[in-house]
Amino acid sequence: MPVDDADELAVLEGRIGHVFADRQLLRQALNHRSWVAEHHGSKSNERLEFLGDAVLGWAIADLSYRRFAHTPEGQLTDLRKSVVNAVALADVAREIGLGNHVRLGRGEAAAEGAQKPSILSDAFEAVLGAVYLDGGAEAAYDMVARLVAPGFPDTIDELDQLDNKTLLQERAARAGRGAPVYTFASTGPDHAKTFVVSVFVDDVLLGQGTGRSKKAAEQLAAAAACAVFD
């Protein structure tokens, strides 16, 4: 994406839900260090990522504390880990098309870095840090509530299902395999959809799951795929 492509930035702002007063903050949030190495004088997104990580932790802690009022500290910690990790944040980044806007060096781009969970999750945190600096705590909190908090379980009893995608990512990496790729289909009317999710690793189907929400179906598919690595 060209540095001065205002139209592309406007599209991203719409998906983030925040219009920047200082777009230079957003531009910096999209600068991966591999791009900066090839464009001397530019700043990478690493400092913004550091800030965004802290802001994200605060916002998720507050949201989970309020939503699950009678949940003990240990489960709240597990809940936070389930949504504040590279796999979960990369999913959010994909939903808003963030990978299409991240600036990568030639080598990283050739290696499809825009799809790597680590790069996507770092960029998401950097954008959050930029929103915090540009719009303050309220704007950053609203971004987390709108984009990340929907990943919370409906009830705390579902918490034990939330780590299947993370677990699959870790097991695939340890086995020297590629990152899991999820596809989905849905049937039924809008008010009563059924989702069927398939998960592939290196183009091989490893698991499927069916649920009333895409999130639930993904978790079931990931759980099935995890068994392949047992």
Spatial CA neighbour of 172 closest among 113, 101, 228, 118 = 228
Which tens digits make up the pLDDT trace of 111-142?
888 888 889 999 999 999 999 999 999 999 99
Q: Pick the catalytic residue: 91, 108, 122, 125?
A: 125
Residue 1 lies in a domain: no
CA neighbor of 13 nearest in space, from 98, 76, 115: 98
Q: Of 16-25, 61-70, 162-171, which range is least confident?
A: 162-171
Same domain flag for 62 and 132: yes
In this predicted structure, the answer to whether residue 104 has a pLDDT above a threshold of 90 is yes
Could you tell me the CATH number of the domain that includes residue 196? 3.30.160.20
Amino acid code (one letter) for 116? K
127 and 44, same structural domain? Answer: yes
Q: Say what the pTM is.
A: 0.71
- Highest mean predicted confidence (pLDDT) among 114-118, 127-131, 168-172, 197-201: 127-131
Total domain count for the chain? 2
Total count of residues recorded for the chain:
230
Answer yes or no: is 168 within a domain: yes
What average pLDDT does this structure show over 25-30? 96
Q: Is 125 marked active-site?
A: yes
User: Residue 219 has what pLDDT?
Assistant: 80
Domain interval for residue 140: 6-152
| Residue 53 among the catalytic residues | yes
